[in-house]
Amino acid sequence: MEKSLLIAGFGGQGIMLIGKMLGFAASKAGMNATFYPSYGAEQRGGTANCTVIIGDDEIGSPVSRRLDTLIAMNEPSFVRFVDRMKKGGVVIVNSSLVQSKVEDKDVKAFYIPANDLAQELGSVQVANIIVLGAYIAATGILDAEFAKQVIAEQLGRKPEMLELNMQAFDKGMAAVK
């Protein structure tokens, strides 16, 4: 098993953070994982993306032309990457900011209004944790409780945000059901 995930959005949406957390969680679960950020003249409001590869075996390239999963946090990211989906792939769309729809019938799409859901919880900043929850629920790549535990550890430096993040994760999971 080897699965590629590309997470893309605006700089400042917490793209890199959830990518790193996923790689960390997968490696904690005994799998192999790589995290590779796009880097360059990135800035707040610009676009940012990262690739996470999770597999049982040694991982070769940390990037992949064909994607098993895409998390598109904004419209330009959706437009840029949606054509790279494999048949049977999964797209998590932040429908608060993406108006386009997935046209490929062989690709499964989940439209999650992540910004709106985050706003309901009190902070738009947790939109990334909502899509992370949605991704785990939609792909089943990691055990949800285990993933939550690891996220809690990773976010340990901000205990005041922990409860909110856990709620966000659950809300994301629930949104794909």
Partner 1 sequence: MSKEFIKGNEAMAEAAVRGGCRFFAGYPITPQNDIPEYLSKRLFEVGGTFIQGESEIASINMVYGVAATGVRSMTSSSSPGLALKSEGISFIAGSRIPAVIINVARGGPALGTIQGAQQDYFASAKAIAPGGFRCFVVSPSTVQEAADLVYEAFEIADKYRTPVYVLTDGVIGNMMEIVELPPMRDPEEMLSSDAWRITKYNDDSSARQFSTYRPTGEMLTVDNIAMAELYEEWQEKEQRWEAFMMEDAEVVLTAYGSAGRIAKSAVKELRAQGIKAGLIRPITLFPFPNKAYENINYDKIDKIFVVEMSIPPQFVYDVELATKSQLDYININTSGGVIVETESIVDKVKESM
Instruction: Write down the least CB distance from residue 151 to partner 1, Å.
Output: 14
* Segment (H or E) for 162: helix 159-175
66 vs 101, beta carbon nearer partner 1: 66
Instruction: Write down the least CB distance from residue 124 to partner 1, Å.
Output: 26
First to last CA, the chain: 24
Q: Residues in the site for partner 1, rule: CB under 8 A?
A: 20, 23-24, 27-28, 32-37, 39-40, 57-66
* Segment (H or E) for 67: strand 67-72
Query: Between the CA of residue 26 and those of 20, 33, 48, 103, what are the distances in Å?
Result: 10, 6, 22, 31
Token pair in block for residue 7: 């997470």
32 vs 125, beta carbon nearer partner 1: 32
61 vs 123, beta carbon nearer partner 1: 61
* Sign of the Cα pseudo-torsion (70, 149, 29, 141, in order): negative
35 vs 169, beta carbon nearer partner 1: 35
Instruction: Write down the least CB distance from residue 22 to partner 1, Å.
Output: 10
Instruction: Write down the least CB distance from residue 84 to partner 1, Å.
Output: 12
